[in-house]
Amino acid sequence: MEHHLLVAYVALGALLVSSSYVPFPKHVLMLGFSFLCIYIGAHKSLEVEEAESMSTKDAYMFPLIGSAVLLSLYLLVKYISQVYVNLLLSVYFFGLGVLAVGATLDPLVSLVIPKSIAKKVILDTKFNIPFYKRKEGPFQLKLTVVELVAVVLGVCAGTWYIVTKHWVANNLLGVSFSIQGVEYLSLGSFKIGCILLSGLFVYDVFWVFGTDVMVTVAKSFDAPIKLLFPRQYGVDPMEFSLLGLGDIVLPGIFIALLLRFDEKRGGHKKGFNKTYFYTQLLAYFCGLGTTILVMLLFDAPQPALLYLVPAAILSALATAAARHELPLLFDYRDEEAVDAKKAAAAAAAATKTEQFVDCVHSDSCCKYACPGSSGVCCVETSGNTWLSH
């Protein structure tokens, strides 16, 4: 794990733990949690080779489908006992939470498990689901030591949330969902990102300002679909301010897209310039800060995307215009970038292979692992004889 990413993980963990004891201002927590979730998720998205990518049709339909789901949840609140609905949601999010927390903690667990056993497979089994026949054959469950430890930690986090419904447990699951969403959801292209965010801009404004649907659903359902921030510590019962996960994930996947665009501009090399990414983070900070300011001035809930969407799109366009890269930005495709990244990796592997061969007759030891072989390298032995082992 890169140093800056480890620092972000530690900062997020420290903020999560300390928020239960230290009376941070709720707006500081909002900005801190959302910023770190996006930062971590965006950088982890660089490691994903096959992500769920949206099509143009998906982008157009997303606000409509979201509206239908939101309205359905609102009707459930109005006409069905919340006890049964919250019980169902608790079971559902327990399963998702175990997977999300496990996947989020996996990189950290791998740092503390000895490398000699970290990748050792301790569970490898196949199974079928009753009444469901899979074309590809039985499902396969395969876990390494690291993955098993991460899943156990996920089960502990999910159980903590189910049993106590503590707001910190809610936030632990919430930040895990946010990081995984930013990491694995791909917009595919800048154009699709603009279409999606523009539609969600209208969606958020309508359901918050035009009706009481959004606010009612957010306050009624006891599920980790939002982050909770205490308005005042040391009181019982505690009252909370809310930040929906959508206000983190949806701008976050747009920011992650532009980080991958930065990577492509840098030739998929380490240490590439992150101009667009840092500009987007600043725009997100300003957009969410404006949301908080307006919320305080009018003492009323605000649709965060009303401020976040213009900040994201306009800052990206302004950056591209200033750098004379508008055509390059609009032509960017995630799929092409992944192909280019694979080609660059293959070229690097070929170069290492050539250097490995050359080192047999060299006076300095080859420091590369032999491609295609685990743990094979070129070393110097007595009498300047070069061997591979």
Backbone angles phi, psi at 105, to 5 degrees: -85, -15
Tokens found for residue 143? 């876990």
Beta-strand ranges (E) seen in 233-290 are 240-244
Q: Can you spell out the DSSP letters for 138-204?
A: SEEEEEEHHHHHHHHHHHHHHHHHHHH--HHHHHHHHHHHHHHHHHHEE--BHHHHHHHHHHHHHHH
Is beta strand 378-380 parallel, antiparallel or unpaired with respect to 386-388? antiparallel
Which one of the listed residues 58, 106, 124, 204 is annotated catalytic?
204
Q: How far is CA 55 from CA 79, 117, 188, 193, 310, in A?
A: 35, 41, 7, 10, 22
Q: Is residue 242 a contact partner of residue 227, using CB atoms and an 8 Å limit? A: yes
Q: Is residue 200 a contact partner of residue 305, using CB atoms and an 8 Å limit? A: yes
Verify whether residue 363 is a known catalytic residue. Answer: no
Verify whether residue 299 is a known catalytic residue. Answer: no
Which one of the listed residues 106, 222, 236, 247 is annotated catalytic?
247
Of the candidates 306, 247, 245, 254, the one whose C-alpha atom is nearest the C-alpha of residue 280 is: 254
Cis status, amide bond into 114, omega within 30 of 0:
no
What amino acid positions are annotated as catalytic residues? 204, 247
